[in-house]
Chains A and B, each alone.
Chain A
Amino acid sequence: MGLKTLLTTHINAADSHTLKHYQSVGGYESLKKAISCMTAEQIVNDVKNSGLRGRGGAGFPTGNKWGFIPKTDKPKYLICNGDEGEPGTFKDRMLIERFPHMLIEGMIIAAKAIDSHQGYIYIRGEFHKGIRIVETAVEEAYKAGLLGKNILGLGYDFDLAVYSGAGAYICGEESALINSLEGRRGHPRLKPPFPAVSGLYACPTVVNNVETFCNVPHIIRMTGEEYKKIGTEKSPGTRLFAVSGHVKKPGIYEVEMGTPMKELIYDICGGMKNDKALKAVIPGGSSSPILTAEEAMTATMDYESIASLKSMLGSGAVIILSEETDLVETTYRLAEFYSHESCGQCTPCREGTHWVKDLLHKIKVGEGTEKDVELIFSLSRNMEGGTTICPLADACVMAVRPTMTKFKEEFSLRLKKEVSLSH
């Protein structure tokens, strides 16, 4: 276990984003194989056999997702979710800027698997540079006959367009993203129906994350069976971990699933910044419940290990917090994020996230009381477990409540009563 590259093998090539470079290292060979030698069913089965799980956050098996697309005469749409915005998460931007052709190739193969002839790459609007790079790559692919009518003369048609988000975290939720692509407010949709049945323009739609699509050419090249040998049995493959916070070398690291978190922090990321002690780790983006240092030292970087600690591998964003971190402040900032990004559709989320943020602010500035803490816990019970259309309110609860429970002392010390006692 440890560093292992599939997606990032050619990260050091300055021109890794160009078609010329991508083809020089075997790029688009999987596309040829998939279109000329494989049926749609074989592609879906290969991806199912690989055990690939979605790299956006939920970790749903990709092959199964593709398999849900009904065989109808309606158009089927394929969407790449590049609306990266969960605090701590910054891996897809690197893939977008450095390996746009790997993404395009993965999408064309996925298109054939679900019989789609139109795809969209939805990228968060702030990524101007990435959007320009992907647009250029799409143009290059069209010119080379890799997109459009009769791809490489092999009889398959697929068009691809780039769509820019406009600044709304919630559009990372697939049904909100679909609404956004349809020119509406990015409000998540009530499910069912799921996008596989009624997605973009009420047609069957698959939405996958950037990293998920980037894995596809590798699976087709090496076969699903071989791919499954990397990582752990239930979490196969490699994973890009975006490490930020108090480590000496924050950055994006591709490692084999199942790598010990200890190894990631102390060997791969160079250990703690200023050699401070580790206090806590947020293991999978801001909405994944925090782990104490002790828990973190037992964890391995795969879905099951993190889940056994009642947290999530999520988007693969690992935020490292040293002993000097003010957890009241960081928790407040996360609550502020969720209150800012609530789309406002559901009352428990619209009201709850703001209320929790305001209460945490009171605690942060030393004006909170025990009652405020109780109120946060009481509110959070009404914000989770299916009381809202999408999981944004749940995400807020997961970012706040475990920290307040596991680091109760730190919050207690900030309460008004405690502050006045200590003076």
Chain B
Amino acid sequence: MAYQFSQESEKRFQRLIPQFPSKRSLILPCLFLLQADKGFVDTEGMQYIADRIGEPVSLAHVHGVATFYTMYNKKPVGKFHIQICANISCYLAGSDSITEHVCSKLGIEKGETSKDKKYTVDEVQCLGACGFGPVAQINDKYYENLTPESIEKILSELEKEG
């Protein structure tokens, strides 16, 4: 069946409409709804968004927006998307050792997804939590002041959850 918003996404979409005088403003929130439904943004979903918003929004425009922003996954990611900050403050606090630890533990390189599709590890630029580095964002949640021991514990909790 062709993609359409899930019930929850449809509800949120309806709540969004009156908030903006221009329908084009709905594109970014709609892409998040698509990602919440599917885990990533694909052409079918982007076409659906273009159709739901209607003129003057086209698939090309939605695609252009989606590819500009880093938070839209252009391909599927693992159930747990581990994003480790590598920028200056986190680096000073030892983020490299956290990334190495996570990659070696999961047996994957940065940017890869594990074979069982459970984990994706990415290095990101700045998560805006610089005083509490090293910091990782796993799905929606921030994990701060990481040490190899604490990330080890977090990984085993994820393993149990998954």
Cβ A85 vs Cβ B88 within 8 A: no
B126 touches A183 (CB 8 A): no
B92 touches A186 (CB 8 A): no
B32 touches A166 (CB 8 A): yes
**A286, B88: Cβ atoms closer than 8 Å:** yes
B129-A333 in contact (CB<8A): no
Q: Which of A81-134 contact B (CB under 8 A)?
A: 84-90, 92-93, 118, 124-129
Beyond A166-B31, A182-B24, whether A244 also contacts B89 by CB under 8 A is yes
**In the bound complex, what is the Cα–Cα distance between A163 and B22 (angstroms)?**
14
A93 partner residues in chain B, CB cutoff 8 A: 128-129
A127 touches B130 (CB 8 A): no
Name the contact of B92 in the complex, choosing from A163, A181, A325 (C-beta under 8 A): A325
Closest to B68 in A: A185
Give the A interface residue count (CB, 8 A).
57
Q: Are B22 and A201 in contact (CB under 8 A)?
A: yes
Scoring B31, B88, B132, B141 by chain A CB atoms within 10 A of each residue's CB, the highest score goes to B88
B69 near A186 (CB under 8 angstroms)?
A: yes
Query: Which applies to chain A's interface (DSSP): helix, strand, loop or mixed?
Result: mixed
Tell me the count of chain B residues lying within 8 A, CB to CB, of chain A. 40
State whether B87 touches A166 (Cβ < 8 A). no
B28 to A164, Cβ gap below 8 A?
A: yes
A60-68, A334-342, A363-371: which lies at the interface:
A334-342
CB distance A163 to B88 under 8 Å? no
A332 to nearest B CB, angstroms? 10
8 Å CB interface, A212-248 against B: 242-246
Closest chain A residue, CB of each to CB of B131: A250
In the bound complex, CA of A118 to CA of B57 (Å):
23
Q: How far is the CA of A164 from the CA of B72 in the complex (A)?
A: 12
Q: Is the CB of B70 within 8 A of A168?
A: yes
The reply on A252 being an interface residue by CB < 8 A is yes
The answer for the CA separation of A317 and B126 in the assembled complex, in Å, is 13
**Across the A-B interface, the 4 shortest Cβ-Cβ residue pairs:** A167-B71, A166-B69, A167-B70, A183-B24
6 pairs of residues in contact across A and B, judged by CB atoms under 8 Å: A125-B32, A129-B141, A184-B24, A321-B92, A333-B88, A341-B125
